[in-house]
Chains A and B, each alone.
Chain A
Amino acid sequence: MSLVRGRTGDWEVVIGLEVHAQAIADSKLFSGAATTFGAEPNTQVSMVDAAMPGMLPVLNEKSVEQAVRTGLGLNARINLTSVFERKNYFYPDLPQGYQISQYLEPIVGEGMLTLDLPDGTTKEVGIERLHLEQDAGKSLHDQHPTSTYIDLNRSGVTLMEIVSKPDMRGADEVGAYLAKLRSILRYLGTSTGNMEEGSMRCDVNLSVRRPGAPLGTRTETKNLNSIRFVKQAIEYEAKRQVALIEDGGRVVQETRLFDSDRGVTRAMRSKEEAHDYRYFPDPDLLPVVLDPEWVEAIRRSLPELPDARKARFMKDMGLSAYDAGVLVAERETAAYFEAVVAGGKGRDPKVAANWIAGELFGALNRAGLGLADAPVDADKLGGLIDLIAEGTLSGRIAKDVFEAMWETGADAAAVVAEKGLKQISDEGALEEIVARIVAASPEQVEKYKAGNEKLLGWFVGRVMKETRGQANPGVVNRLLRARLS
């Protein structure tokens, strides 16, 4: 538990999140319009999305399936009956004058999400509910000096609002929650979770209290669109509330906005202006009644999720919790890892994990590439690992080979052949070099024999230099010890 140190003592920060994840579906929640990101303004708008007179919503079955799939992935209860309600408020980019959402009867009830924390431990965070709702359009204030323009492309897009219980205690846990949630959504194929495209946005409910005391009054900071901003907002808001209380003030329950330029939160609207959303069941839509068989069919079709995969990597492949956690975070990484291990005989999973988390990730980061675009695919990395295992390459040379593979896209064997990087394990050839170096270094031989055994490393280094690093270090060690003894 991370505590905030105030002037008068320690404070515990209590956080719950509302995450809005855009469901992957070929059309909107209640219309047939497309939902491609980045389309020209107002090109993906049906008559329903524009709330033309007499238009009626028709529920998209794919959206419902994605919500159920996500609910199952969060180990949550699926409500076989749920109800769409209207949330009424006026805003120019809300054409209907109401948002169709779920309120009293959401499609998914309580569930659980396990956080993988940076120290390798885990923590469970409760899921309160998941409900389906329409996204609003976008107001564009920068197109005209005095007028606001409206883009309705997002109007009616399917959002899954995933509400956590107030189980998180700091920015790191929230970061881990968002990362894990995104990972699960991607495994399930229910959302891209891309915060930069607006496919995942987050509201932070935060309060502070003395450790063990009852919950304090919370504020809600709305519409945060990156994990970095979420963390900044939490740090700021926690300190603000602590300072406020310590100065004798009281936290007001209110909605706040994060100003990313200044790194501060500020009140969005006061209670006097608070909306009364006048929720009531949408009479244009029937209650959603799910067939339990249909839900079970979705359950059976779920992929192996990150937690199960992590457990399997630890149990069957002997990976550490940390390595396994890193590999399963993205479905593609885990698949890559499994392809490397399964692609050849006797490949050591730990070696594969190290190469992926080390060299491969490093190269991807430097190049700003995603795994799918890596010039070294699982087959090629597997080939490199095989060459190390059979003694053809030393670990150090292998890194050079990897660099060359990355540059050229060639496989390991081709790089080795072309550059003559093959490890020298031929004892006759190495013996000759070892003999020459020992003969040329009487001073060091004397010191070694006098007991300074650290000098062995110096001799090894000389041999490696002579062989441009290609000598098999194991053989060199053995030959040197024999000659020097």
Chain B
Amino acid sequence: MSGLSELTITEARDGLAKGTFSARDLVAAFIAAVEQTRPLNAFITETPEKALEMAAASDARRRAGEAGALEGIPLAVKDLFCTRDVPTTAGSHILDGFKPPYESTVTENLWRAGAVLLGKTNMDEFAMGSSNTSSYYGPVENPWRRPGDNRPLVPGGSSGGSAAAVAARCAPGAIGTDTGGSIRQPAAFTGIVGMKPTYGRCSRWGVVAFASSLDQAGPLTRTVRDTAIMLGAMAGHDPKDSTSVNRPVPDYEAALTGDVRGLKVGIPRQYRVDGMPGEIETLWQRGVEWLKAAGAEPVEVSLPHTKYALPAYYIVAPAEASSNLARYDGVRYGLRVPGATPTEMYEATRGEGFGDEVKRRVLIGTYVLSAGYYDAYYNQARKVRSLILRDFTEAFESVDVLLTPTAPSTAFAIGEKMDDPIAMYLNDVFTVPANLAGLPGISVPAALADDGLPLGLQVVGRAFDEETMLRVADVLEGAAEFAAEPAFVAGRGEAP
């Protein structure tokens, strides 16, 4: 059956429910789409056989009247989530050959809701990056191109494979992780919806850790409604993750009422950063007008410590990473490069197993935690972090959500910004504060920039108020009427 791979999750769900097609039909179409998308390098591991098995089981459940919320929906999973008996690489050489004997809680929740695994998506190594160029398995290409320019563009990162897969229509939805913007920024770069839930909303158990106090799993989809459906299946308390929060999971889809009348939308003045293109400023203003037209009230707010967010993030995240990545030592799993002594074995294994960006961050993290520098860097960053949280808490006393741009630019070409880590880190300037404060954030595709590439707007919500945030995002999505499509869409033609 043709055209199935262009369905959104909502559309596919309805078709399956009506019996228009089976899960097996749907999954087969997406398996074919995944194959066609190979030139983008969005997947590290494809799992077509497993997908077909899961689809058959799904059809059987539906016949038995036991359909879950995502029954029969194929999904792509960032290769940071451990999946039982399916290779899990974190985009790194150092996890060569690693097949987890366990399933992450979030993916387990998805399978329990009836979803089907299409494959494991490419990503920046250990989720460190904003361009998906640091993967051991090579860069991912954005399915978008600048009109008249065939240079491959980055999909953003670190969940670049997941974003590219959804944008190219070879998966109706995907999951990623967001530590400083790793879901929202690639969603913006590829013209899709990407959401980071409140810290503690989704379990981190079974997700390869980058920065434990910031990491959070979330969905990447083509619509806000699809995101709401996926979040409902992913979220929930997990006793195996001490930082997961025990509170009920609301019906997020039901929150999409389309009614934002009377809601106060905060516009943080500190997000007007130097060097931001005028068109992004213009789009932001247009977003304000859309919400105003829908009956919401824009309110200028101040988040005075915003400018310290990025420096604080680039201390806290590497500090935690330097410790989280200590376990990759060649002793128990993954790559082992022999050495005459344990120390030589570590050095050889980690030297060969980690790429440059990972090494850079492990070094930074080790440095900021070391005696004599701890107070000046790590402790200072922790203080900044609590000030940033206070900024948000105070702002949310007078507003219901915040509206900001998602990223300060559109997708750039593979190879650009590669020699300047600082320029690369600036990609996260609007997304990082929500991670530091643990707040939910969502990027919605809003317009095409002058260069013909998508731009996103970000809605940030109160902690555990994903419902209001999704409701606003849904209205924004409706107003923006973003219908542009990437240069490459699976099923329609040759990949670039």
Residues of A within 8 A of B (CB): 47, 50-59, 86, 88, 90-92, 95-98, 148, 150, 276, 278-280, 283-286
> B6 at the A/B interface (Cβ < 8 Å)?
no
Q: A53-B88, A92-B342 are in contact. Are A47 and B370 (CB under 8 A)?
A: no
Find chain A residues with CB under 8 A from B116 CB: none
A54 with B207: CB separation less than 8 A? yes
B82 with A54: CB separation less than 8 A? yes
Q: Which of A53, A54, A55, A91 has the most CB of B within 10 A?
A: A53
A97 with B332: CB separation less than 8 A? no
Give the residue name and chain of the A residue nearest to B200 (CB).
Answer: A286
B370 with A278: CB separation less than 8 A? yes
What sequence of 0s and 1s flags, for each residue 324-361 of chain B, a beta carbon within 8 Å of any chain A beta carbon?
Answer: 01110101110000000011001000000000000000
A283 with B320: CB separation less than 8 A? yes
How far apart are the CA atoms of A215 and B213 in the complex, in Å? 42
A284 with B327: CB separation less than 8 A? no
Give the residue name and chain of the A residue nearest to B208 (CB).
Answer: A53
What sequence of 0s and 1s flags, for each residue 425-436 of chain B, a beta carbon within 8 Å of any chain A beta carbon?
Answer: 000000000000
Q: A98-B323, A278-B370 are in contact. Are A58 and B242 (CB under 8 A)?
A: yes
Give the residue name and chain of the B residue nearest to A150 (CB).
Answer: B331
A285 with B327: CB separation less than 8 A? no
Interface positions, chain B 226-261, Cβ under 8 Å from A, are: 239-243
Which segment of B98-106, B267-275, B284-292, B299-307 sits at the interface? B98-106
Find chain A residues with CB under 8 A from B98 CB: 53
Q: A53-B98, A90-B346 are in contact. Are A284 and B208 (CB under 8 A)?
A: no
Give the residue name and chain of the A residue nearest to B365 (CB).
Answer: A278
How far apart are the CA atoms of A148 and B374 in the complex, in Å? 35
Nearest first, the 5 A-B pairs at minimum CB distance are: A97-B326, A283-B213, A278-B369, A283-B212, A51-B327
A56 with B240: CB separation less than 8 A? yes
A54 with B205: CB separation less than 8 A? yes
What sequence of 0s and 1s flags, for each residue 21-35 of chain B, a beta carbon within 8 Å of any chain A beta carbon?
Answer: 000000000000000
B370 with A53: CB separation less than 8 A? no
Extra contacts besides A90-B346, A92-B342 (6): CB < 8 Å: A53-B208, A58-B242, A278-B322, A278-B374, A284-B209, A285-B242
B326 with A54: CB separation less than 8 A? no
Find chain B residues with CB under 8 A from A52 CB: 100, 102, 332-333
Give the residue name and chain of the B residue nearest to A48 (CB).
Answer: B240
Q: Supply 13 A–B pairs (Cβ within 8 Å), ascending by A.
A: A47-B102, A53-B90, A54-B204, A58-B240, A86-B323, A88-B322, A91-B342, A92-B329, A95-B332, A278-B366, A280-B323, A280-B369, A283-B320
Give the secondary structure class of B's interface: loop
Give the residue name and chain of the A residue nearest to B88 (CB).
Answer: A53
Q: A86-B323, A98-B323 are in contact. Are A284 and B212 (CB under 8 A)?
A: yes
Give the residue name and chain of the A residue nearest to B331 (CB).
Answer: A92
Find chain B residues with CB under 8 A from A276 CB: 370-371
> B444 at the A/B interface (Cβ < 8 Å)?
no
Of B242, B333, B374, the residue contacting A56 (CB under 8 A) is B242
Q: Which of A50, A54, A57, A97 has the most CB of B within 10 A?
A: A54
Give the residue name and chain of the A residue nearest to B98 (CB).
Answer: A53
> B319 at the A/B interface (Cβ < 8 Å)?
yes
How far apart are the CA atoms of A53 and B95 in the complex, in Å? 9
What sequence of 0s and 1s flags, for each residue 188-228 of chain B, a beta carbon within 8 Å of any chain A beta carbon?
Answer: 00000000000000001111110111000000000000000
What sequence of 0s and 1s flags, for each residue 66-101 of chain B, a beta carbon within 8 Å of any chain A beta carbon?
Answer: 000000000000000110000010100001001011
How far apart are the CA atoms of A51 and B102 in the complex, in Å? 13
A59 with B82: CB separation less than 8 A? no
Find chain A residues with CB under 8 A from B102 CB: 47, 52
Give the residue name and chain of the A residue nearest to B213 (CB).
Answer: A283
Find chain A residues with CB under 8 A from B240 CB: 56, 58
How far apart are the CA atoms of A264 and B320 in the complex, in Å? 40
Tell me, rounded to whole Å, the shortest Cβ–Cβ distance linking B432 to chain A: 16
B323 with A148: CB separation less than 8 A? no
Tell me, rounded to whole Å, the shortest Cβ–Cβ distance linking A214 to chain B: 25
Of A56, A91, A98, the residue contacting B204 (CB under 8 A) is A56
B323 with A97: CB separation less than 8 A? yes
Tell me, rounded to whole Å, the shortest Cβ–Cβ distance linking B347 to chain A: 10
> B313 at the A/B interface (Cβ < 8 Å)?
no
How far apart are the CA atoms of A284 and B88 in the complex, in Å? 21
Find chain B residues with CB under 8 A from A285 CB: 242-243
> B137 at the A/B interface (Cβ < 8 Å)?
no
> B378 at the A/B interface (Cβ < 8 Å)?
yes
Interface positions, chain B 278-319, Cβ under 8 Å from A, are: 319
Tell me, rounded to whole Å, the shortest Cβ–Cβ distance linking A193 to chain B: 30
A54 with B319: CB separation less than 8 A? no
Tell me, rounded to whole Å, the shortest Cβ–Cβ distance linking B337 to chain A: 15
Find chain B residues with CB under 8 A from A280 CB: 319-320, 323, 369, 374, 378
Of A90, A91, A148, A284, the residue contacting B243 (CB under 8 A) is A284
Tell me, rounded to whole Å, the shortest Cβ–Cβ distance linking A13 to chain B: 30
